[in-house]
Structure 1
Amino acid sequence: ASLYEDMKAVEREYDLHCGLQQLFTQADGCAASAYRADSGYDFALLAADGASVYVSGLQAQLAAALCGQTGRFFTAFAGGQAVCDTRVNVTAEDTTVQLHLRDTDFQPLGAYNEDWQALLCTELQQAFSALTADDAADFFHLQFWHVNLWGPGSALPVPRLEILFE
């Protein structure tokens, strides 16, 4: 009972839903939130015929947004030097994913004076590259959209992330 209450509290705090419906609807892989007592939540990318991937921190927040399971980032970045709180929306055109960040608030956690937007963009690009590195498991359905545009058998280009602050 306490685990369930902890998970519900995490869902409220991070504006996240658990995504368990994917466990029953995705044949080749699914994505679901995974609870951790020390970090609040991780994200599990579960492949049907391959190794599962567990991510945390900014990667977990990005994976949740790419799967449509959250509309908000609230995460530390830059080695824990700052926190970003922003509303997030995702659109995609073929294999270019557009990440729309709105009402973004950066909170430094020390006496640092950095270009927080540039640091966040760098870490988001790295997280996206890591999440999409294995084309055998298409957790974000980029292959599905590409095949719909260009037909079966068309070569999938390397996915791209475009970050838009609005």
Structure 2
Amino acid sequence: MLYFEDLTPGRRFETASHTLTQDEIISFARQFDPQPFHTDPEAAKTSVFDGLAASGWHTSSLTMRLITASELKNVANGLIGMGIKDMRWPQPTRVGDTLRATIEVLAQKASGSKPGFGVVQLRWTTLNQHDEIAMQLETSIWVARRPTEQA
């Protein structure tokens, strides 16, 4: 298990990777972000993306999936998100892009009102196969503190 005390500032985690297919991009977009530059390869050619691009929400969802399969799956009470700030997609994710994520612990603060918990601030960075940033955000998670031994 990973507890609040294990998530110290500067600690980093890495995920496995996933390569996106055209079918995945279109299927996700049809269900959750049905815009032509995500669902229609021909229409996407005349869009600002100059070709089919994955929804930013797809990139974010895939990042969450990668993180829940990483060492962070062992956070004691789960990855309980408290909010997101500064979410950005500096460039589009394309068919054939292989994404992976790095997670850096930025800060931690013990809860004043709930002594068994603390807040950990993380930066998620999703990179493609060229180490270009596809998505980045900062998030705070609610994490259980390590139980004390009973006498």
> What TM-score range do you get, normalising by the shorter chain?
under 0.3
Name the one with the larger helix percent: 1
Q: TM-score, structure 1 length as denominator?
A: 0.26
- Compute the TM-score of the two structures, normalised by the length of structure 2: 0.28
Answer 1 or 2: higher relative contact order, Cα 8 Å, separation at least 6: 2
Larger Rg: 2
